[in-house]
């Protein structure tokens, strides 16, 4: 995609953090917006703010883990604007602690949003993008956690590794779809720490998936370290959004917004290539290592 004005963007997890930053950047380029989020109140505030600035925008309360709700989101986008040119599968949540201390509820919640949410988005939107025959692009939000395996983030790491794998497969699948597939690009967004709001994602956990036991010491330690890390990030959500749109314009697949993390990614790739035991992922950033 080279041109954004008057095009239609769909963004999940759009009521705050990176999703809201993507929405504001898209609006600054003259795009029409379909915003989705599970937090209906925050979504209404986001829609009202963008609309007041003159953006054509609708909000659709959406639980991305529910396939039917993604179908409804696609239907609302088509009914309102008739086309979808840019899809951000951006909604995400996290749970931490020693991996054996994560509960079945943790697993269902994290994988339901982070993995099923992306797959549901692709299933609902890729066919209509292909049928349009117009330039389009898909951005799946992963994380550097999709390329590293830091301790105390087992479920989150696994879910984001899945998003990277899904996105790489999507890239190759689109090549098999002929001329229609060549009109649709895709990228995977892998930022490092920045203040995105994911440290507070527990606020949107469904009641049926809440844990009733208190946090373990490892889960509490991870929460403290995560809050510290996201607050220390040297890029804002707005800057990440700008980098993302640059990558879409350039049809760049891997969106790696924090160059300082590359030595850690390279070290892990070398471990795999040389069949070495895993290195400490915090070798180059020891200040972020949880106690």
Q: Which residues form the catalytic set? A: 156
User: Residue 100 and residue 271: Cα distance in Å, rounded?
Assistant: 24
User: Residue 133 and residue 273: Cα distance in Å, rounded?
Assistant: 40
The sheet with strand 184-189 has its strands ordered as 57-61, 32-37, 8-12, 86-89, 136-141, 184-189, 254-255
Q: Tell me the two tokens of residue 88.
A: 């951000």
Whether residue 139 contacts residue 186, with contact meaning beta carbons closer than 8 Å, is answered with yes
The DSSP string of 200-259 is GGGGG--GGG---SPPPHHHHHHHHHHHHHHHT-SS-HHHHHHHHHHHHHTT-SEE---G
């Amino acid at each position: 995609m080279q041109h954004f004005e008057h095009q239609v963007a769909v963004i999940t997890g759009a009521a705050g953090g990176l999703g809201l930053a993507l929405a504001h950047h898209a609006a600054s380029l003259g795009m029409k917006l379909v915003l989705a989020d599970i937090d209906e109140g925050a979504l209404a505030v986001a829609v009202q703010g963008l609309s007041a600035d003159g953006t054509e925008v609708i909000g659709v309360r959406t639980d991305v883990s529910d396939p039917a709700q993604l179908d409804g989101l696609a239907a609302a986008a088509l009914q309102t604007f008739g086309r979808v040119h840019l899809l951000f599968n951006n909604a995400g949540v996290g749970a931490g602690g020693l991996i054996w201390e994560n509960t079945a509820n943790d697993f269902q919640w994290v994988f339901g949003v982070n993995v099923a949410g992306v797959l549901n988005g692709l299933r609902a939107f890729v066919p209509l993008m292909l049928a349009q025959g117009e330039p389009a692009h898909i951005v799946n939000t992963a994380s550097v956690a999709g390329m590293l395996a830091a301790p105390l983030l087992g479920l989150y790491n696994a879910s984001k590794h899945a998003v990277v794998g899904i996105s790489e497969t999507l890239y190759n699948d689109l090549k098999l779809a002929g001329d229609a597939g060549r009109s649709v690009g895709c990228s995977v967004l892998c930022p490092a720490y920045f203040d995105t709001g994911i440290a507070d994602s527990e606020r949107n956990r469904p009641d049926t998936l809440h844990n009733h036991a208190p946090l373990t010491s490892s889960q509490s330690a991870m929460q403290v370290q995560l809050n510290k890390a996201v607050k220390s990030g040297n890029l804002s959500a707005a800057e990440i959004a700008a980098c993302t749109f640059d990558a879409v314009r350039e049809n760049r697949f891997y969106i790696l917004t924090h160059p300082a993390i590359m030595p850690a990614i390279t070290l892990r790739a070398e471990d795999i290539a040389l069949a070495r035991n895993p290195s400490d992922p915090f070798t180059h950033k020891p200040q972020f290592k949880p106690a």
